């Protein structure tokens, strides 16, 4: 049994610091690195790639909408092809820093509103998939487990990493419970660690209304922007270790 | 006898149009494509690369300072390594669009204040050179003919394209006459065409004070942002053709 | 009979020019000046206010979403109060340039997607109205004739200018025909001029399906971003003059 | 004996937080509020003005260069009049939020590179002064004690607040010791508090080489971006209180 553990990294910008990258980097196997649109800048990208390499964490692009004020969390209406362009641009920029540091781009995971929209909107999913295929078909696309985008990407022949969230409650239909719902976001590191272990070992979560729901996951997402995120990371690693689960970069998990 | 003819392209942004790319593209052999910092955006980059490919014009990155309001024309103080990061980021982004369109990045030409500073400032030249070497040592660096940067890049083993300006007056020391000087900028297409032909066939220009000055050029720069720029382009092509000079992408001119 | 004629102005940015402000300014009575979010910058704002003053054109703020790439034409999800903040910020900035030039801010007209959303979305309209009231209740709010926002603003005690579009077809319910519909956008200056005159003198337009529809308008919008916009402006002025309609800034038309 | 205590506030942006405004606000008498160019955004400005009002802290505009990536810490080449425009724009935006909250703009203090350049560069000082005069001659301009800008502003009839830095070492000529010098930045709250008290009560500081140097100060600057900034704030207040110095907004100190 094995799983990848990913986290958004490199979202600091100029004089602004966000996240706790130095500590989180010690616990994850894949880093989703912001590409300068919603967060990140060339210095931060360069530094974050170097740090990931040092800690043998695989690097991925984490492209978002061009909306720094909104941190990529709000949808933008786009022309046909525009999302594809946002993706190509940002993957290229991050891949360049990987190349400069002698490593490869392992994956790409859209950020925020782009991730959410791609999960369910066909046109967006198509553009995301087209971007990855045309830029580098070896790059793994990270999508929400059970999403339209994941299905479409697999059909298109892309390598796909299905992602699950051990700190988020699920509905009995396998969808994430909306954040507005009480209990939708889990904060106790112990509980999150136990959920992570169960997700991997049993391929299921207990839904918010007590059902067992099958979730096929290649990678678990760690939220780096919560208080004491590194403690959650540690708890997940401990939970996984106790259950005999190995943590590996997703390229060693997702078929090529 | 042969020469490359380059022009800055793809500097439009969103609803804002600048330059006359559609017409200029017909006359040049290499396009310096803005990368989204001083000008350009993903849609414009995608479109400009596609158009260049269609017209068999080689593509290069045209990275600038992150200062859209100043259009990359003003210097920014930078941390050590910051210019290198600006270059890597923008080369990566443009190279991604080239890759998507199945072509290669031929060259990189810094824009505006970055070009000028790199020409004479050692630290800036070092960072520009380091960026190209670490990103892709096959990419040609375009520098001002006779500049420090050109010398340093050649010493560093990079492929260098030395650039001359047929529409700019030169001093007798081989430097460009400052734009503030009367006569520093030449506007008559016929005159520019004749200067271009002489530059290539004799390896010299007549300086602003009447001296013959040797200028070794691999590529001539066409300014796309002047009125009737395409007429200047046509006059240069006609002047070169009349003198028996072939116009070819710089990759066929600069040794590898 | 009298009417105001307004046009969006000052949307250029840095090296980028958009619109034909110099010529349009001669034909209008009120200028909606971009405030640096979707278009415009401090230099352009300063220059545009100065030019408006010189031509005795009244100035208004033309605030948009903070989305220069999208030119304010796409909606952004916002937190409660965020649109109010966008409005206050931009009105303040433009009012400062008016003050520096010794004139007053006459009006405010939201731009693009913000205008459209405010016309029909209650929360947006509330924030727009709250912004104007709290910043300066003497400032006139320009809204789409017949819109929710106009009604709400009037109820809130604001001075409101109801706006009509002589170059746009109307449906028989008084709504603008969507741009996607054939015939929705009228381009012939003569026709536009005649429609303008009829709008003012009869208080009605002929709808796209041949009905007479009452439209109460205090100001007519001229689109500055179409080819030969100034010819449309001239045709409207001529049409209005022939019908004996006086063109005056909206502050002389809307009650205080 | 009385003095104003000012601090830069409201430099957070979107999802990015910087500074410790909530705690610092309790200890100061004047807040320099970022205006959206180097830091800040409409939501942050609105919130910061509201918080200042609640704590009876006077508000000022803190305009910077339009360079968020560089946090306004690097100089930009500007056209004639451009700095004046940056100042007018940002003062207007901040003044609008003050107006909305029913308070007045007390002062303006240029940020970072703009502050430093204005202190010694005549053209920049002229534009800063022209901006304040034309926007609102009642607004106090905060300048480095002993600077060219302060002299010029006083001559121009502006209200000027001369600023000193209790946490910075001074040279015997009254200039700030460069940050690169060992000992140039003082970090011990007790020492800073004692220096503040001495500055106000004796009108002098002990320079880095042991000389007594006269410094006429109306306001002391507190740096909010250092670790435990609020402890420094508290130490200054305690030092001043022990010396019998009253802390008051600068409008009660600088003559009108």
- All structural domains of chain C, each given as residue ranges with its CATH number in brackets, are 2-252 (3.20.20.370)
From the CA of D44, how many Å to the nearest CA of chain C?
9
**Residue D96 and residue C94: Cβ atoms within 8 Å?**
no
* C97: chain D residues, CB-CB within 8 Å: 88-89, 92
CB pairs under 8 A between C and D: 82
Q: Do D15 and A71 touch (CB under 8 A)?
A: yes
Give me the pLDDT at residue B197, please.
97
Q: Average pLDDT, whole number, for chain D? A: 96
Which of B70, B73, B77 lies closest to D74 in CB terms? B77
Strand partners, A141: A108, A160
Q: What one-character DSSP code corresponds to residue B245?
A: P
Cα–Cα nearest to C133, from C88, C173, C178, C170 = C88
Nearest CA distance, C14 vs chain B (angstrom):
5
Q: What radius of gyration, in Å, describes the C-alpha atoms of chain B?
A: 17
Query: A127 and A183 in contact (C-beta within 8 Å)?
Result: no
Greatest distance between any 2 Cα atoms in chain A: 49
Q: Which two tokens stand for residue D109?
A: 């203090």
Nearest neighbour of D43 by CB, restricted to C85, C92, C94: C85
Q: How far is CA D45 from CA C72, C139, D26, in A?
A: 21, 22, 18
Q: Could you please report the per-residue DSSP string of chain A?
A: -EEEEEEEE---BTTB--S-HHHHTTT-SEEEEE-SSSS--HHHHHHHHHHHHHTT-EEEEE---S-TTTTT-S-----TTHHHHHHHHHHHHHHHHHHHTT--EEEE---HHHHHHHHH-HHHHHHHHHHHHHH-TTSEEEEETT-HHHHHHHHTT--EEEEE-TTB-B-TTSSBPPTTSTTSB---HHHHHHHHHHHHHHSEEE-TTS-EEE---SEEEE-TTSTTHHHHHHHHHHHHHHTTPEE--GGGTS--
CA dihedral of residues B199, B200, B204, B209 (deg, nearest 10): -10
- Written as one string, the DSSP assignment of C78-147 is --TTHHHHHHHHHHHHHHHHHHHTT--EEEE---HHHHHHHHH-HHHHHHHHHHHHHH-TTSEEEEETT-
Count of B–D CB contacts within 8 Å? 21
Pairing type for strands D105-108 and D140-144 reads: parallel
For the CA atoms of C96, C101, C104, C105, the dihedral, rounded to the nearest 10 degrees, stands at -50
Beta strands in B73-121 (DSSP E): 105-108
C22 burial type by CB count under 10 A (0-12 exposed, 13-18 middle, 19+ buried)? exposed
What does the pLDDT read at residue B64?
Answer: 98
Please give the pLDDT value at position C256: 62
C77:A77 CB<8 A: no
Pairing of strands B246-247, C212-214: unpaired
Question: Alpha-carbon distance D103 to D251, whole Å?
Answer: 13
Q: Which residues have a Cβ under 8 Å from the Cβ of B155 and sit 6 or more positions away?
A: none
Picking from C11, C16, C67 by the largest number of B CB atoms within 10 A of its own CB, the best residue to mutate is: C16
pLDDT at residue C1 in the model = 92
Per-residue pLDDT tens digits of chain B, which is 256 residues long: 999 999 999 999 999 999 999 999 999 999 999 999 999 999 999 999 999 999 999 999 999 999 999 999 999 999 999 999 999 999 999 999 999 999 999 999 999 999 999 999 999 999 999 999 999 999 999 999 999 999 999 999 999 999 999 999 999 999 999 999 999 999 999 999 999 999 999 999 999 999 999 999 999 999 998 888 999 999 999 999 999 999 999 999 987 6
Kindly state the greatest CA–CA separation across chain D: 49
Whole-number Å distance between alpha carbons of D165 and D185: 10
pLDDT digit string (tens) for C161-179?
Answer: 999 999 999 999 999 999 9
The per-residue pLDDT for range A59-89, each reduced to its tens digit, is 999 999 999 999 999 999 999 999 999 999 9
- C-alpha to C-alpha distance for A236 and A6, rounded to whole angstroms: 12
**C14 → closest Cβ in B14, B41, B70:** B70
Q: Token pair of A193, please?
A: 């660690």
Return the residue in B67, B72, B78 with the most chain D beta carbons within 10 A, the one to mutate for interface testing.
Answer: B67
- Residues of A with Cβ-Cβ distance to C76 under 8 angstroms: 67, 70, 74, 76
Q: Is C116 on the interface with A (CB under 8 A)?
A: no
Q: Which residues of A touch C75 (CB under 8 A)?
A: 77
Distance from CA of C83 to the nearest CA of B (A): 22
Burial label for D178, CB within 10 Å (0-12, 13-18, 19+), is exposed
**Percent of chain A predicted with pLDDT > 70:** 100
Chain B residues touching residue C15 (CB < 8 angstroms): 18, 39, 71, 73
- Decide if B100 and A88 are in contact by the 8 Å CB cutoff: yes
What pLDDT was estimated at residue C227?
85
Based on the number of CB atoms within 10 Å of its own CB, is C156 exposed (0-12), middle (13-18) or buried (19 or more)? middle
| CB contact (8 A) between residue C43 and residue D91 | no
3-state secondary structure of D54: helix
Check pLDDT > 80 for residue D204: yes
- The CA distance from D117 to D112, in Å, is 9
User: What CA–CA distance (Å, rounded) separates D68 from D47?
Assistant: 20
* C75 in contact with A, Cβ within 8 Å: yes
* Position A225 pLDDT exceeds 90: no
Q: What is the mean pLDDT of residues A184-207?
A: 96
pLDDT for residue B225: 85
- Beta strands (DSSP E) in chain D are 2-9, 30-34, 58-62, 105-108, 140-144, 160-164, 204-206, 212-214, 219-222, 246-247
User: In this complex, do B76 and D67 lie within 8 Å of one another by their Cβ atoms?
Assistant: yes
Measured in angstroms, the CA of A22 and the nearest CA of chain D are apart by: 18
DSSP strands (E only) in chain C: 2-9, 30-34, 58-62, 105-108, 140-144, 160-164, 204-206, 212-214, 219-222, 246-247
The verdict on a CB contact (< 8 Å) between B96 and A82 is no
Contact (Cβ atoms closer than 8 angstroms) between residue B243 and residue B200: yes
| C101 in B contact zone (CB under 8 Å) | no
Q: Is the pLDDT of residue D243 over 90?
A: yes
The dihedrals phi and psi of C220, each to the nearest 5 degrees, come to -110, 140
Give the chain A residue nearest B80 (alpha carbons): A43
Contacts of B99 in chain A (CB under 8 A): 92, 134-136
Beta bridge partners of B247: B3
Tokens of C128: 């727009």
Pairing of strands D160-164, D219-222: parallel
Question: Which of C14, C17, C69 minimises the CB distance to B41?
Answer: C69
Give the residue ranges of chain C where pLDDT is below 50. Answer: none
B67–D76 C-beta distance less than 8 A: yes
ipTM metric: 0.96
**pLDDT more than 70, % of chain D:** 100
Q: What percent of chain A has pLDDT over 90?
A: 96
Give pLDDT, residue B256: 62
**So what's the pLDDT on residue C125?**
98
Query: Hey, is the C-beta of A18 within 8 angstroms of any chain D C-beta?
Result: yes
Q: Is A92 on the interface with D (CB under 8 A)?
A: no
Residue D256, pLDDT score? 62
* pLDDT band at D168; cut points 50, 70, 90: very high
CB-based contact B73 C16, cutoff 8 Å:
no
Quickly state the pLDDT bin for D85 (edges 50, 70, 90).
very high
B192 touches B230 (CB < 8 A)? no
CA distance A207 to A222: 19
Instruction: Determine, for residues C18 and B15 on separate chains, whether the beta-carbon distance falls below 8 Å.
Output: yes
Best probe of the D interface among C93, C108, C127, by most D CBs < 10 A, is: C93
Run of H or E including B3: strand B2-9
Cα B1 from Cα B240, distance rounded (Å): 10
Mutation target to probe the A interface, by most A beta carbons within 10 A, among C67, C113, C116, C117 is C67
Helix (H, G, I), strand (E, B) or coil at C3: strand
- Pick from D36, D38, D73, D74 the residue to mutate for testing the B interface (most B CBs within 10 Å): D74
Which residue on chain A is closest to D225 by alpha carbon? A15
Please indicate whether, in this complex, the C-beta atoms of C41 and B69 are within 8 angstroms of each other.
yes
pLDDT band with cut points at 50, 70 and 90 for residue A256: low
**D176 φ/ψ angles, rounded to the nearest 5 degrees:** -65, 135
Q: Is A154 on the interface with D (CB under 8 A)?
A: no
Interface test with D, best of A8, A10, A13, A15 (most D CBs within 10 A): A15
Q: How far apart are CA D64 and CA A186, in angstroms?
A: 41
- With an 8 Å Cβ cutoff, are A73 and D15 in contact? yes
**pLDDT at res. C225:** 85
Q: Which chain C residues touch A78 with a CB distance below 8 Å?
A: 74
C70 lies within 8 A of chain A by CB: yes
Q: Is B209 exposed, middle or buried (0-12, 13-18, 19+ CB in 10 A)?
A: exposed
The residues, ordered by sequence, that sit 6+ positions from C202 with a Cβ below 8 Å of its Cβ are none
Task: For residue C99, give the nearest of D82, D84, D135 by CB distance.
Answer: D135
């Amino acid at each position: 049994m094995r799983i990848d553990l990913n986290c958004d990294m490199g979202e600091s910008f100029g004089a602004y610091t966000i996240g706790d990258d130095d500590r989180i980097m010690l616990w994850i196997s894949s880093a989703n690195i912001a590409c300068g649109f919603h967060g990140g800048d060339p210095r931060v990208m360069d530094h974050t790639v170097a740090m990931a390499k040092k800690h043998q964490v695989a690097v991925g692009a984490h492209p978002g909408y061009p909306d720094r004020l909104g941190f990529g969390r709000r949808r933008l209406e786009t022309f046909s092809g525009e999302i594809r362009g946002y993706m190509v641009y940002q993957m290229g920029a991050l891949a360049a820093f990987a190349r400069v540091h002698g490593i490869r781009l392992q994956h790409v995971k859209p950020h925020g509103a782009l991730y959410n929209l791609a999960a369910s909107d066909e046109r967006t999913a198509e553009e995301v998939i087209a971007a990855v295929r045309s830029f580098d078909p070896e790059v793994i696309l990270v999508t929400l487990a059970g999403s339209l985008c994941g299905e479409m990407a697999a059909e298109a022949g892309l390598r796909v990493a299905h992602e699950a969230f051990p700190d988020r409650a699920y509905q009995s239909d396998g969808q994430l419970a909306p954040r507005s719902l009480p209990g939708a976001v889990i904060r106790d590191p112990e509980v999150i660690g136990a959920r992570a272990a169960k997700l991997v070992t049993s391929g299921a979560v207990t839904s918010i209304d007590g059902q067992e729901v099958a979730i096929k996951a290649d990678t678990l997402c760690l939220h780096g922007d919560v208080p004491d995120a590194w403690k959650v990371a540690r708890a997940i690693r401990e939970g996984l270790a106790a259950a005999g689960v190995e943590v590996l970069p997703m390229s060693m998990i997702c078929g090529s």
